Amino acid sequence: GQQLNQSPQSMFIQEGEDVSMNCTSSSIFNTWLWYKQEPGEGPVLLIALYKAGELTSNGRLTAQFGITRKDSFLNISASIPSDVGIYFCAAAGNNRKLIWGLGTSLAVNP
């Protein structure tokens, strides 16, 4: 099935560093979402983006809906150990079905 291209696949960083990950697609979407999933848990919504060019923050997290509607990025500033987890992007088009990226696994060294 269709999937988003999410990168990087994994990251190992030092506490305090900033993190950036992104998702791209060849298709246009109306909604971009970023979720975090911890082991054995369901995904938790971090940020939802509904408008091209929109830049939204949630604490230390910032995400943008690309102007072309084909991409989005998520930044985490000043990472802390509890940021560890897998981050997924997801996007929806007119059919409202969510298309998922393969995830970015984040490890933070205290």
Q: Which residues bind another protein (CB under 8 A)?
A: 1, 3, 31, 33, 35, 40-45, 48, 88, 92, 96-98, 100-103
The minimum distance between CB 38 and another protein, in angstroms, equals 10
Give the 3-state secondary structure of 10-65: EEEEECCCCEEEEEECCCCCCEEEEEEECCCCCCEEEEEECCCCCEEEECCEEEEE
Q: Which residue, 37 or 77, is less far from another protein as judged by CB?
A: 37
User: Rounded to the nearest 5°, which phi and psi values hold at 82?
Assistant: -75, 0
Q: Which residue, 17 or 38, is less far from another protein as judged by CB?
A: 38
The minimum distance between CB 100 and another protein, in angstroms, equals 5
